[in-house]
Amino acid sequence: MNSPAPQQASQPEVERQQLLDALVEVSIRGGYRNATVASVVERAGMTEEAFHRHFSDLEDCFAEYLFEGRQVFFTEVGTAMVGIEEWREQIRAAGYAMLRFWRADERRARMMLIEVLSAGPRAQLIRDEGMELMFDLIDQGRSAMRDPEMLTRTTAEAIGGAIFNQMHLALERGELDRGEQLIPQLMYTVVLPYLGTEVALEELERPPRGTG
């Protein structure tokens, strides 16, 4: 018996993906703040009518791109933590998964870390919802403390915001290729408020994966 032919994407799915790809191209070249529906459809070789079959406006297009990227990001981070019970080890696994995600596609990283800052409220909401999930993971560090009431979720929010900013800066400086060197410092930053100075210093002394 012949194997069934692989399922092909429908024409609307292909068209939609081409528009998303065009949005990335236009945003990478000139910045999302300078992108327009006209520039996206020109890049995609389509018409504005075709664009509006899929998206209500440019921000809607960006928001869908961001939402899909966020789904992939948290799937990969979640997979990396499967079977890991200790919070500190979960954070480390999540950190390396995050780094792999950004390095796998730097164009996607730029859209999600840099160009998102120029987007409107819908895209910002998607970004913020993703940040909340990261805050949730960091905030679990309170359960490892003798007195979880000593800290509040605000601590996790401050740490998560700092990590986002560090990844943003690393991408802008073209330093993602040496991103493993960032992990011990990120681990120190996360662990310090919850597990104390001694444990945090252990993280600084721990060789990044792949370096020894």
**Is the distance from CB of 64 to CB of 55 less than 8 angstroms?**
yes
pLDDT of 9 strictly over 70:
no
In CATH, what number is assigned to the domain containing residue 151?
Answer: 1.10.357.10
Looking at the fold, whether 13 and 30 belong to one and the same domain comes out as yes
Structure tokens at 135: 């805050």
Looking at the fold, whether 83 and 177 belong to one and the same domain comes out as yes
Digit-coded pLDDT (tens) for 51-84: 999 999 999 999 999 999 999 999 999 999 999 9
Query: Residue 113 — very low, low, confident or very high, per pLDDT cuts 50/70/90?
Result: very high
d(CA 108, CA 170): 14
**Is the distance from CB of 20 to CB of 65 less than 8 angstroms?**
yes
**Is the distance from CB of 109 to CB of 102 less than 8 angstroms?**
yes
Query: Residue 40 — very low, low, confident or very high, per pLDDT cuts 50/70/90?
Result: very high
Structure tokens at 84: 């890991």
d(CA 187, CA 77): 16
Looking at the fold, whether 33 and 84 belong to one and the same domain comes out as no
Q: What is the mean pLDDT of the chain?
A: 91
- State the angle between helix axes of 11-30 and 37-44 in degrees (0 to 180), rounded to the nearest 10: 120
d(CA 40, CA 159): 36
Looking at the fold, whether 119 and 95 belong to one and the same domain comes out as yes
Query: Residue 30 — very low, low, confident or very high, per pLDDT cuts 50/70/90?
Result: very high
